[in-house]
Structure 1
Amino acid sequence: MRKLAYVLPALVILIALGLSSIFIVDPRYKALVLQFGAVVKTVEKPGLYFKLPFVQSVVYYDGRIRGLSTPPLEVTPSDDRRLVVDAFARWKITNLVAFREATGAVGIPLAEKRLQDTLIDAIRGVLGQVPSNAVLSDDRTPLMNQIRDVARQKAAKSLGIDVIDVRLTRTDLPDQNLSATYARMKAEREREAADEIARGKEAAQTIRATADRTALELTSAAQKKADVIRGQADAKRNAVYAAAFGKDPEFFAFTRSLRTYEEALKGSNTTIVMTPDNEFFDYLNTDRGQASAGRTPAPGTKAPVPMPMPMPATSSGGAAQQSAAPKP
């Protein structure tokens, strides 16, 4: 029983010593074995490892890729236009010893703060050498790669970490400049719209003038053609009339007189003042005809046939009356 009393405590102590000398490294982490604060061993591969119990300690660090965002900051490109920029970086620990020396017991929080300052310096240094148009353009990959390279070089030396990638997540004008910029953009768009409207009106006026000229030319050509056709028709009609009237001169004289009467006696208030023996009345006299006027028909012709036609009434206002018969 006395031996058993000594064996059990010894066994417990051995188990405790064995457990304290074993440590496991997770695949997501890396470890440093410290002895009295000094680094004696670096473990970067996962597995089961041993250390001196109660003398050595193990510090674990996240070996995965981490992200870090920068706060919005104002930068001044080479054309002196202020911009508000923020970025996002991905990084991981590559040198555990340098990282431990740079951050001490604080570890990752201090590393992120120092890395953020490094990124801000790199962003201002790179973007300050280019115009604002290059920063505001869609293709900012060369600028982001340049910022990454600058930050990577500084972070590797001072912190023992690798900056994998840097992305500019925001590149805007300051709020106080947005209104002026929008007003200028609006004025430019309005000017472009006015130019387009003016060009459209000019084109419409040109098309309208061309159409009017074409219509006038077509109308003139049609009128000319119509006049030619009308002239040809009149000539043909006159030829037909001449041929018809040549066969009977008396009938020609009769129809010409009738046409004259039709033109002269239009309207209801026509007044004609002339002597009764005027030849105008040759075909209006109902009882004498040509003989009453003292004229004889030409040889080989017949005397015109009297055509009884009523005389129009006298016009109002005291005008002279028309005479339908010769004086007695």
Structure 2
Amino acid sequence: MNVRILVILFIAAILGFSSIFVVDEGERAIVKRFGKIGKDAAEQTLVYEPGLHFKVPFFDQVTRLNARILTLDAPADRFVTSEQKDVIVDSFVKWRITDFGQYYLATQQGNQLIAESLLQSKINNGLRSEFGSRTIRDIVSGSRDELQRAAMEGTQDDAEELGITVVDVRVKQINLPREVSEFIYNRMRAQREAVARSHRADGQEKAEVMRAGADALVTLTLAEAERESRTLRGKGDADAAEIYANAYGQNPEFYSLLRSLDAYRTSFASKEDVLVVSPDSEFFQYMKSKNLK
């Protein structure tokens, strides 16, 4: 008799423990009976809050769902910009379950891997749309916060179909494929070379202008100097002629003698020269004895 009571008590204890389940803080629970989700009076999915709850042993199956904010850190993906250039984007998503019934049905009984796969697809679609509407210059030099906010808002409606709310979308890193990096480098180099050519052309133009100005100044200076030298030389010649004329006017005979002596000195300077002149020539007029008295 005591054994029978112990068995009954043991079975009752097992049934009692089997009819109790605990939902921890940060979790929600959904109970399924005979393959159907439990509903409340409003025919909404019955979601159990944290605490102690009861179920029918052996017939009810409890599925616990994470109610915390979760992080989806997927591998980097490739996106195409508006100029048909690829970029490698590494991002992560903060999300949480807000409609547990919808989430349970949309993710094959609350499978988190399936949920993250579907969510990643929707996030990538949003990011692809945002990157596709921007150029590489806009992505690199623009506001990343604006892009992230637009991507989050663009995927919010699609995420609600899964019973999920996207809390935040963050782009950790944006890299360029090797061929795109080379393209940007070549384009930057071409732009810098064009700027350098423009500067060199401006410099050459200014140099030519300065050189032409200097040449004109030199030519003008030389012409002015030549003019002044000719003026001074002419004035000197005139003064010399005037002096000679005055001197000649004072004593023409003496002036003629000096000129003749200069002519003699010049003519007989070299002893190797031969001069054939008639003795009666005027060249020797001052060498005759009567003119030397």
The one-character-per-residue Cα deviations of 1:227-263 (angstroms, maximum 9, x if unpaired) are 2122223333333343344333333222222333455
Q: Is 1:75 paired with 2:77?
A: no
Q: In the alignment, is the contact (CA less than 8 A) between 1:99 and 1:161 conserved in 2?
A: no
Q: 2:236 aligns with which of 233, 241, 263?
A: 233
Q: CA deviation at 1:180?
A: 6.4
Q: In the alignment, is the contact (CA less than 8 A) between 1:83 and 1:171 conserved in 2?
A: no
The equivalent of 2:87 in structure 1 is 84
Q: Distance in 2 between matches of 1:34 and 1:83?
A: 44
Q: 1:59 aligns with which of 21, 41, 64?
A: 64
Residue type at the aligned position of 2:160: A
SS of 1:259's equivalent in the other structure is helix
Q: Is 1:112 paired with 2:108?
A: no
SS of 2:243's equivalent in the other structure is helix
Query: Which structure: larger Rg?
Result: 1
The equivalent of 2:277 in structure 1 is 274
The equivalent of 2:150 in structure 1 is 146
Q: Check 1:60–1:184 CA distance in 2 against 1; reply closer, same or farther (3 A cut).
A: closer
SS of 2:73's equivalent in the other structure is strand
Q: 2:261 aligns with which of 258, 261, 267?
A: 258
**Percent of aligned pairs with the same amino acid:** 20
Per the normalisation by structure 2, the TM-score is: 0.68
Q: In the alignment, is the contact (CA less than 8 A) between 1:69 and 1:89 conserved in 2?
A: yes
Q: Check 1:62–1:246 CA distance in 2 against 1; reply closer, same or farther (3 A cut).
A: farther
Q: CA deviation at 1:118?
A: 0.7
Q: CA deviation at 1:42?
A: 5.0
The equivalent of 1:50 in structure 2 is 52
Q: Is 1:160 paired with 2:164?
A: yes
Task: Say which is worse superposed, 162-171 or 53-62, in terms of deviation.
Answer: 53-62
Q: Distance in 1 between matches of 2:112 and 2:80?
A: 27
The equivalent of 1:223 in structure 2 is 226
The equivalent of 2:213 in structure 1 is 210
SS of 2:141's equivalent in the other structure is coil
Q: In the alignment, is the contact (CA less than 8 A) between 2:99 and 2:164 conserved in 1?
A: yes
SS of 1:282's equivalent in the other structure is helix
Per the normalisation by structure 1, the TM-score is: 0.62
Q: In the alignment, is the contact (CA less than 8 A) between 2:23 and 2:29 conserved in 1?
A: no
Residue type at the aligned position of 2:157: Q
Q: CA deviation at 1:113?
A: 1.4
Q: CA deviation at 1:67?
A: 4.6
Larger helix fraction of residues: 2
Q: Distance in 1 between matches of 2:67 and 2:282?
A: 137
Q: CA deviation at 1:157?
A: 2.7
Q: Distance in 1 between matches of 2:267 and 2:156?
A: 116
Residue type at the aligned position of 1:121: N
Q: In the alignment, is the contact (CA less than 8 A) between 2:80 and 2:131 conserved in 1?
A: yes
Q: Check 1:241–1:125 CA distance in 2 against 1; reply closer, same or farther (3 A cut).
A: same
Q: In the alignment, is the contact (CA less than 8 A) between 1:84 and 1:173 conserved in 2?
A: yes
Query: How many aligned residue pairs are there?
Result: 267
The one-character-per-residue Cα deviations of 1:293-316 (angstroms, maximum 9, x if unpaired) are xxxxxxxxxx557xxxxxxxxxxx
Q: Distance in 1 between matches of 2:242 and 2:229?
A: 19
The equivalent of 1:314 in structure 2 is none
Instruction: Structure 1 unaligned segments of length 5 or more: list them.
Output: 292-302, 306-328
Q: Distance in 2 between matches of 1:126 and 1:76?
A: 9
Residue type at the aligned position of 2:52: F
Q: Distance in 2 between matches of 1:267 and 1:199?
A: 66
SS of 1:277's equivalent in the other structure is coil
The equivalent of 1:103 in structure 2 is 107
Instruction: Flag the structure with more relative contact order, 1 or 2, with Cα contacts below 8 A and sequence separation at least 6.
Output: 2
Q: CA deviation at 1:58?
A: 7.4
SS of 1:150's equivalent in the other structure is helix
The equivalent of 1:311 in structure 2 is none
The equivalent of 2:30 in structure 1 is 34
Q: Distance in 1 between matches of 2:134 and 2:22?
A: 58
The equivalent of 2:204 in structure 1 is 201
Residue type at the aligned position of 1:34: I
Q: Distance in 2 between matches of 1:269 and 1:62?
A: 132
Q: Distance in 1 between matches of 2:270 and 2:109?
A: 128
